[in-house]
Amino acid sequence: MASLISDTEPPSHLHPTSTDLVRRKKRLSVSSSSASSSLTTGDGDSHARWRSEKQQRNYSAKLIQALRQVRLSSSSAAAATSSPPPTAQKRGKAVREAADRALAVSARGRTLWSRAILSNRIKLKFRKQKRQRPAAIPAVITTGSSSSSSGGRSKKRRVTVAKLNKKSIPTVNRKVRVLGRLVPGCKKESVPVILEEATDYIQALEMQVRAMKSLAELLSGSDLAPQRG
Amino acid sequence: MSSRRSRSSRQTGASMISEDQINDLVLQLHRLLPELGNNHRRSGKVSASKVLQETCTYIRNLNKEVDDLSERLSQLLESTDSAQAALIRSLLM
Q: Which residue of A has its CA nearest to B63?
A: A205
Partner B, chain A 96-155, Cβ-Cβ below 8 Å: 96, 99, 110
Give residue A150's pLDDT: 43
Residue B11 inside a domain? The answer is: no
Residues of B in contact with A94 (CB under 8 A): 74
Residues of B in contact with A57 (CB under 8 A): none
Residue B68 inside a domain? The answer is: yes
Give residue A36's pLDDT: 40
Q: Which residue of B has its CA nearest to A201?
A: B59
DSSP label of A225: P
Residue B10 inside a domain? The answer is: no
Residue A155: how many other CB atoms lie within 10 Å: 6
Task: Kindly state whether A78 is in contact with chain B, defined as any CB-CB distance less than 8 angstroms.
Answer: no
DSSP string across A8-34: PPPGGGTSS-HHHHHHHHHHHHHHHHH
Rounded to whole angstroms, the Cα distance separating A111 from A199 reads 11
Give residue A72's pLDDT: 64
Judged by CB atoms closer than 8 Å, whether chains meet at A43 and B31 is answered as yes
Give residue B60's pLDDT: 92
The answer to whether residue B61 scores a pLDDT higher than 70 is: yes
Task: Kindly state whether A213 is in contact with chain B, defined as any CB-CB distance less than 8 angstroms.
Answer: yes
Residue B6 inside a domain? The answer is: no
Residue B2 inside a domain? The answer is: no
The answer to whether residue A226 scores a pLDDT higher than 60 is: no
More reliable by pLDDT, A96 or A16 = A96
Judged by CB atoms closer than 8 Å, whether chains meet at A212 and B1 is answered as no
Q: Residue A144 in contact with residue A118, Cβ under 8 Å?
A: yes
Judged by CB atoms closer than 8 Å, whether chains meet at A179 and B75 is answered as no
DSSP label of A84: P
Residue B1 inside a domain? The answer is: no
What is the arithmetic mean of pLDDT over B36-55? 72
Domain that holds residue B52: 17-90
User: What value does the mean pLDDT of chain A take?
Assistant: 65
Residues of A in contact with B56 (CB under 8 A): 175, 178-179, 182
- pLDDT confidence band for B39 (50 / 70 / 90): low
Of B1, B14, B74, the CB nearest to A190: B14
Q: Which residue of A has its CA nearest to B59?
A: A202
Residues of B in contact with A16 (CB under 8 A): none
* A31 phi, psi to nearest 5 deg: -65, -40
More reliable by pLDDT, A18 or A74 = A74
- pLDDT confidence band for B42 (50 / 70 / 90): low
Judged by CB atoms closer than 8 Å, whether chains meet at A99 and B66 is answered as yes
What is the arithmetic mean of pLDDT over A75-100? 65
More reliable by pLDDT, B25 or A72 = B25
H helix runs in chain A, sequence order: 18-38, 42-51, 53-80, 88-106, 112-129, 136-143, 157-164, 171-182, 191-220
Q: What is the pLDDT of residues A15-58, one digit of tens each?
A: 444 454 455 445 444 444 444 444 334 445 666 666 777 777 77
The answer to whether residue B13 scores a pLDDT higher than 60 is: no
Closest-CA distance of chain B to residue A133, Å: 33
The most distant pair of C-alpha atoms in chain A lies apart, rounded to whole Å, by 66
Q: Is B10 left (phi over 0), alpha (psi -120 to 50) or beta?
A: left
DSSP label of A110: -
Task: Kindly state whether A92 is in contact with chain B, defined as any CB-CB distance less than 8 angstroms.
Answer: yes
| CA A220 remoteness from chain centre | 24
Residue B3 inside a domain? The answer is: no
Residue B12 inside a domain? The answer is: no
Q: What is the pLDDT of residues B22-36, one digit of tens each?
A: 888 888 888 888 776
A203: Cα within 13 Å, side-chain hemisphere: 25
Count of domains forming chain B: 1
Q: Residue A145 in contact with residue A185, Cβ under 8 Å?
A: yes
What is the arithmetic mean of pLDDT over A79-90? 55
Q: What is the pLDDT of residues A158-215, one digit of tens each?
A: 555 555 555 566 788 888 888 888 888 877 888 888 888 888 888 888 888 888 888 8
Task: Kindly report the pTM of this predicted structure.
Answer: 0.62
Residue of B21, B52, B82 to mutate, interface with A, max A Cβ within 10 Å: B52
